[in-house]
Structure 1
Amino acid sequence: MEDIKELMLSRTWRIAFIIAALYVDAQNAQVVPALFIFGDSLVDVGNNNHIRLSLLKANFPHNGVDYPGGKATGRFSNGLNSADFLAQKLGFTGSPPPYLSLQGQANINSSIVKGVNFASGGAGILDENSGGSLSTNKQVEYYSTVYGNLVAQLGSAEAEKLVAKSLFLVVIGSNDLFGFFKSNSKLPAKYTPQQYTDLLISTFKGQLERIYNLGARKIATVGVGAIGCCPSQRSQKNKTGDCVEEENNMARNFNAGLKSLLSSQLTPNLQGLTYAFCNTYGVVSSYFQNPSVYGFKDVVNACCGAGKLNGRVACLPVVKYCSNRGEYLFWDLYHPTQIASQMLVDAFYEGSADQVSPINVKQLIST
């Protein structure tokens, strides 16, 4: 009798263990078939490494000091960036690979089936604001090629089904706004701030429509942050070191235009399209207003750099970087630290309506 009890107990424990293991697997399971990423340096995971003539690279120390192995990978961060953290949230074992790293690879089909990252540091909505980077138009062009490869690999119906269930992340616009405010910019002579914002939104509309026409149905768009509060802008354009309000005004106007585009123009006219608008400006503004609440001790200076606010010289191997990186909002002149990127993704993934609307990313992938 005791032997039977012991056997039953051992079986009970084994069953409990299996159920627990299945639960963990379910929690960590990939919740979308693929993740496709478009954007700029905030989500570039190494595309610019493969652009020979580009000066906008981050594949050198001190970038990557907190990345596994302390390796500089081309991410404009001390460690992981938002693309990495979103991939983790979705259950992927790693970020989708940079598109340019796949060129010439024999196993490219097996790589693209779980998604691709097209983002490029320095990219803009407008081609003329993208310099030697992959503009949004070029990124969409490359995605068209990937979609064609998926159709050839899986067949039209299966490729369409995979893409429709996948998540598309788009993080773009900051470089276009920075371009307007450059000291040598010719843009203010051609456009008023409102005309320029309207141009960006109308151009972006066409780009999102092209992605939709190539199968995208779930799109997470990330609004522009408070660009006037970056260490570079504070240090160079404001003697007091305060935020540059003119730049922040344009960021707010761009975000308002993007929200209107999504809700009033695209969703009513593109059948099956669902989206989440990630309110970067609002979330980051809360960090500026109450830094200690979020664990920050410094939301003004860059951790890595030199000059006023560490915002005059980029994060080059010759400069110093802070030891308490988890307490800084900014890693360098423009980019957030690893911890800030993680916090932003947390907010967008399961956040409230003031952080992400009309639904959050977790709800978006469930539609």
Structure 2
Amino acid sequence: MDHGRLALVVAAAAMAMACTVEMRAAAAAPQPLAPCMYVFGDSLVDNGNNNGILSLARANYRPYGIDFHEGPPGRFTNGRTMVDFLSDMLGLRPPLLPAYAVARPADLARGVNFASGASGIRAETGNNLGEHYPLSEQVVHFRTAVSDMGRTAGFSGNATKVMEHLGRCIFFVGMGSNDYLNNYFMPDYYDTAQVYDPHAYATLLLQDYSSQLADLYDLGARKFVVVGVGQIGCIPYELARMNNDNQPSGPDTPSDDDDGIVISIGGGGGGRSSSTSSSNASNNSTTKQKPTPDAGACNDTINRAIAIYNNGLLSMVKRFNRGQQLRGAKFVFLDTVHTGMDLAVNAAAHGFTVLDRGCCGVGRNNGQITCLPLQRPCDDRSKYIFWDAFHPTEAANRIYAAKAFNSTSTSDAYPINISQLAAI
């Protein structure tokens, strides 16, 4: 055999061996529980879609992301968000799901994050903070992504294959916080509180929300995770606006200490076990807890309005699951109020010692202004539930995600948890 033929044989054998190794490695790698996840929401789960637009609702500067070293900036927390942890739990890593603003065609089939800080169900929500992408526009972005996905090599224009793929994916949708924080309870900028009482406003939101979820269904979504609004009457921003008698200063009236500053940048986790009302996913009831004596009362006016909305959202999920409107779809409702209250009650067991103030920020409860550029945050972020005036820390996000993914209590995830939804 001449040297040329020998070289070809050796090269072919080496290539075959390399392919065999790759195939064995692929077979040995654990398969994700779901092939993809798509995220819609506000600053609680935004991972950088607002970075390049003219908006006050941006987090692409330190100390935001101080503990995040896996990609571009833009998360409204110190590290990972709830959906980052869920991505891990579903086996969709590495890498983390990209923001739609920077996603490549090759990313689309595995999942993309469309969330935008300050966004809401209503189109005008968050306009006080500048540009952002409301849920309706996030759905438009997804429509474009589906069209682009159909032109990729894996689908080659086969719309049926695209729909079958999307039907196995998780669609995480968390909206509504800003429709209260940056709309209804901001009467100097919006007139919704004058036009609608809390019941009418919740009904209006849920009508729009139902329509937008139906649009996602028409584009191929079948497995939905719908997140309730947390107790935003208990976040540091609202606690900072309570007057010295522990009474709410009113949605448009600053407290004596805040120098007239009423800036909010969207989202709003909820986690303190103060005077609050919560929707319970298993029986749709509400509960009251006494205020924590050393932390002051929450803003019950806001929390009561949130309870109305959450109860209506749970009812909407139950209606969709009956299958008469969106056949073949399955919805999971995450009761973040209940999960947040449980987190606060068991704070010590989770290592939390600070429940009512942000790790960074300005003013009372570190809640009057969000983290300033290059501000030094608290040293031990693991002891804080709140990162800033509105958003949970990475440590709290980890717990919210674990409850959503694994909890067997329908008070956390109704009627099943996310791991069970992925297995369907």
CA distance in structure 1 between the partners assigned to 2:373 and 2:99 by the alignment: 24
How does the TM-score come out when normalised to structure 1? 0.88
- Shift of the 290–363 alpha-carbon distance from structure 1 to 2, 3 Å rule, reads same
**In terms of mean alpha carbon deviation, does 335-344 or 281-290 score higher?**
281-290
Task: Kindly indicate whether the alpha-carbon contact (under 8 Å) linking 1:267 and 1:273 is maintained by their aligned counterparts in 2.
Answer: no
Query: What residue is the counterpart of 2:401 in the other structure?
Result: 345
Q: Which residues of structure 2 form unaligned runs of 5+?
A: 1-24, 247-295
**1:245 is the counterpart of 2:300:** yes
- Displacement, 1:328? 0.5
**Secondary structure, in 3 states, of the residue corresponding to 2:76?**
coil
Query: What residue is the counterpart of 1:182 in the other structure?
Result: 186
**Secondary structure, in 3 states, of the residue corresponding to 2:50?**
helix
**1:250-289 alignment to 2 at 5 Å?**
250-265=305-320, 267-268=322-323, 269-289=325-345
Query: What residue is the counterpart of 2:168 in the other structure?
Result: 165
Query: What residue is the counterpart of 1:323 in the other structure?
Result: 379
**Secondary structure, in 3 states, of the residue corresponding to 2:225?**
strand
Task: Kindly indicate whether the alpha-carbon contact (under 8 Å) linking 2:62 and 2:375 is maintained by their aligned counterparts in 1.
Answer: no
- Displacement, 1:208? 0.3
**1:207 is the counterpart of 2:212:** yes
1:229 to 227, 230, 234: 234
Q: Which residues of structure 1 form unaligned runs of 5+?
A: 1-20, 103-107
Task: Kindly indicate whether the alpha-carbon contact (under 8 Å) linking 1:87 and 1:94 is maintained by their aligned counterparts in 2.
Answer: no
The structure richer in helix per residue is 1
**Secondary structure, in 3 states, of the residue corresponding to 1:74?**
coil
**1:1-367 alignment to 2 at 5 Å?**
25-26=29-30, 29-51=31-53, 53-68=54-69, 73-92=73-92, 93-102=94-103, 108-131=104-127, 132-153=131-152, 154=155, 155-178=158-181, 179-184=183-188, 185-239=190-244, 240=246, 241-265=296-320, 267-268=322-323, 269-317=325-373, 319-352=375-408, 353-367=410-424
CA distance in structure 2 between the partners assigned to 1:109 and 1:290 by the alignment: 44
Superposition RMSD in Å: 1.8
CA distance in structure 1 between the partners assigned to 2:357 and 2:404 by the alignment: 25
- One-letter amino acid matched to 1:347: K
Task: Kindly indicate whether the alpha-carbon contact (under 8 Å) linking 2:370 and 2:389 is maintained by their aligned counterparts in 1.
Answer: yes
Task: Kindly indicate whether the alpha-carbon contact (under 8 Å) linking 1:61 and 1:72 is maintained by their aligned counterparts in 2.
Answer: no
- Displacement, 1:324? 1.3
- Displacement, 1:25? 3.3
How does the TM-score come out when normalised to structure 2? 0.77
- Displacement, 1:157? 1.6
- Shift of the 252–242 alpha-carbon distance from structure 1 to 2, 3 Å rule, reads same
- One-letter amino acid matched to 1:77: T
- Shift of the 278–110 alpha-carbon distance from structure 1 to 2, 3 Å rule, reads same
- Shift of the 90–127 alpha-carbon distance from structure 1 to 2, 3 Å rule, reads same
CA distance in structure 1 between the partners assigned to 2:83 and 2:51 by the alignment: 17
- Displacement, 1:320? 3.4
Task: Kindly indicate whether the alpha-carbon contact (under 8 Å) linking 1:165 and 1:218 is maintained by their aligned counterparts in 2.
Answer: yes
- Displacement, 1:319? 3.6
Superposed CA deviations along residues 295-325 of structure 1, whole A, max 9, x for unmatched, are 2101101111121111112101254311111
CA distance in structure 2 between the partners assigned to 1:314 and 1:33 by the alignment: 36
- One-letter amino acid matched to 1:175: N
